[in-house]
Amino acid sequence: MRAFSANLFALLFLCALASVFYVWSALENRLERHKRGFPVPGRGSSHHGLPVDLSAKTFRALLAVPAAQRPHLGARLEAPNLTDQTASAGNRDYHVNGDNKRSALREGPVKLGSPVEDGIFWSERLEGLLPAGFTEEYARAWRERARTHRIVKLEPGCGRISNQLATFADGTKACVRYGINADQVQGETLTYYLASLLGITNLPPLILSQLNGDGEQWAAVRTRIGGLQWSDRAVVSLTEWISNLTGVVTPAPLRQESGGLHPVLPELWSKTTAELLELMQWTDLITFDYLTANFDRLVSNLFSLQWDSRVMERDTNNLLKTPRGDLVFIDNEAGLVHGFRVLNMWEKYHNTVLGSVCVFRKRTVQRVAELHRRRDARSRLLELYRDSEPLSQELGFLSDEHAGILQDRIDRLHRHILHCKGKYGQL
């Protein structure tokens, strides 16, 4: 009897070990797929009863705090006063600093003197070479067109199933995000407008659209919308689809094992202009993700280091670049709303990432300083959002609590910049 019990225990122990190994392997597979977020057919379910990709959303799935269970239409804004947008004829291609002289300088060797000036700022000359990105004018023209053009096709191609690649009647494309809930569409949209306030032009232009809105914009794809089980009343976001984008690995000075990106880093002197310009965009990305508490980019990599020591060698989540090396910040839905809700869990990682940077773009710092001094982040963001987005009322705006958190993060970022100035300003 004793021998039998001992054998039974041994068997149970082996089974337990096998289960642990199985769960661990499954987790590793999920994390691997998470890195690129490509669509994999037949995934779990979402708040809307949709098939949803839990594997590609490991962090969001892990952290899914029961969102305010509101319908897809958000809280109404207090004072509607939407200004009509005037169309402006825009360049149809992704707009970068197209001027050939600048372009040649970007490709060439560094003959720019010091890459850093006034203690903590990228030099004026470098900043002058920075790609213009999606300029205000370009974005306005795209938004105007995207609001009026009919959508003739909806297909996979923008990540998980609740995102769809839309083709407009003129052949141009956009990524439609239905969002797991309204918070995510709100996060994506308000993050876009915050970037605009800060003069950060790395986010593709965005509009909101209501599936049952006036006009025939969605008429040709009704059957497909039905198949996706999207609610007709939903407000979705559309962002311009950009061709030929590739992945981006986190540069060495921003990896955990390095001492950070600071003005006295000797490597800065041996970098090419193109490398410095990319680093400059990274410093904007880090300040921006800190403000919006977006954990779904560099911060999630830092978190993954706990079990995946080589995560930094792979492409950064939700960051792509054009063939010219201009960074494109996509998938910002974790910013502001969801990011603020789960702040407790991520704050130490946000602090670590921000703490690793002490070089900034002068223009970004000026805008942060202004928002800090005037303490008007909420009203400026709301005004820009209302004036630019006719559906702002339908989707709603940040709660007072979240608007307070945003202002608080602006103040903290400002303090961090002052700290860097104090440390490196006399050099």
Ligand X SMILES: Nc1ncnc2c1ncn2[C@@H]1O[C@H](COP(=O)(O)OP(=O)(O)O)[C@@H](O)[C@H]1O
Give the one residue of 46, 52, 56, 390 binding ligand X; rule: CB under 6 A: 56
CA dihedral 288, 364, 240, 303 (to 10 degrees): -20
Question: For the window 395-424, what string marks contact with ligand X as x by the rule CB under 6 A?
Answer: ------------------------------
Site for ligand X in 224-243 (CB under 6 A): 239-242
How far is residue 279's CA from residue 286's CA, in Å, rounded to a whole number?
10
Q: Are 287 and 354 in contact (CB under 8 A)?
A: yes
Chain residue whose CB lies nearest ligand X: 159
C-alpha angle 97/93/56, rounded to 5°?
100
Give the one residue of 180, 182, 200, 245 binding ligand X; rule: CB under 6 A: 245
Which residues on adjacent β-strands are paired with residue 155? 165
Both tokens of residue 142? 């795209």
Sign of CA dihedral 265, 270, 271, 276: positive
Tell me, what DSSP letter sits at residue 93? Answer: S
Among the residue ranges 157-165, 251-259, 337-345, 365-373, the one whose residues contact ligand X (CB under 6 A): 157-165
How far is residue 255's CA from residue 356's CA, in Å, rounded to a whole number?
9
180 binds ligand X (CB under 6 A): no
Sign of CA dihedral 238, 240, 245, 248: negative
What letter represents residue 324's amino acid? R
The CB-of-224 to Mg ion minimum distance in angstroms stands at 22
Give the one residue of 74, 115, 131, 159 binding ligand X; rule: CB under 6 A: 159
Among the residue ranges 122-130, 136-144, 158-166, 334-342, the one whose residues contact ligand X (CB under 6 A): 158-166
Q: Where are the beta strands (DSSP E) in 75-127?
A: 116-117, 121-122
Burial class (CB in 10 A: 0-12, 13-18, 19+), 382: buried
Give the one residue of 191, 237, 318, 388 binding Mg ion; rule: CB under 5 A: 318
Question: For the window 16-55, what string marks contact with Mg ion as x by the rule CB under 5 A?
Answer: ---------------------x------------------
Sign of CA dihedral 52, 56, 57, 62: positive
164 binds Mg ion (CB under 5 A): no
302 binds ligand X (CB under 6 A): no
Closest CB to Mg ion among residues 209, 318:
318
Question: Binds 280, which of Mg ion, ligand X, none (CB < 5 to 8 A, cut-off by type)?
Answer: none
Question: Binds 163, which of Mg ion, ligand X, none (CB < 5 to 8 A, cut-off by type)?
Answer: ligand X
C-alpha angle 271/322/236, rounded to 5°?
135
The CB-of-323 to Mg ion minimum distance in angstroms stands at 21
How far is residue 185's CA from residue 238's CA, in Å, rounded to a whole number?
10
Closest CB to ligand X among residues 123, 209:
209
Question: For the window 326-345, what string marks contact with Mg ion as x by the rule CB under 5 A?
Answer: -----x--------------
Give the one residue of 331, 335, 381, 398 binding ligand X; rule: CB under 6 A: 331
191 binds Mg ion (CB under 5 A): no
Both tokens of residue 327? 């960074």
How far is residue 149's CA from residue 215's CA, in Å, rounded to a whole number?
10
How far is residue 370's CA from residue 210's CA, in Å, rounded to a whole number?
35
Among the residue ranges 6-14, 152-160, 298-306, 416-424, the one whose residues contact ligand X (CB under 6 A): 152-160
Q: Are 257 and 418 in contact (CB under 8 A)?
A: no
The CB-of-331 to Mg ion minimum distance in angstroms stands at 4
335 binds ligand X (CB under 6 A): no
283 binds Mg ion (CB under 5 A): no
Question: For the window 103-122, what string marks contact with ligand X as x by the rule CB under 6 A?
Answer: --------------------
Question: Binds 90, which of Mg ion, ligand X, none (CB < 5 to 8 A, cut-off by type)?
Answer: none
Helix 343-355 / helix 273-292 crossing angle, nearest 10 deg: 150
Question: Binds 334, which of ligand X, Mg ion, none (CB < 5 to 8 A, cut-off by type)?
Answer: none
Q: Are 285 and 333 in contact (CB under 8 A)?
A: no
Both tokens of residue 175? 């990524």
For ligand X, the binding residues (CB under 6 A) are 37, 56, 158-160, 163, 175, 204, 239-242, 245, 318, 330-331
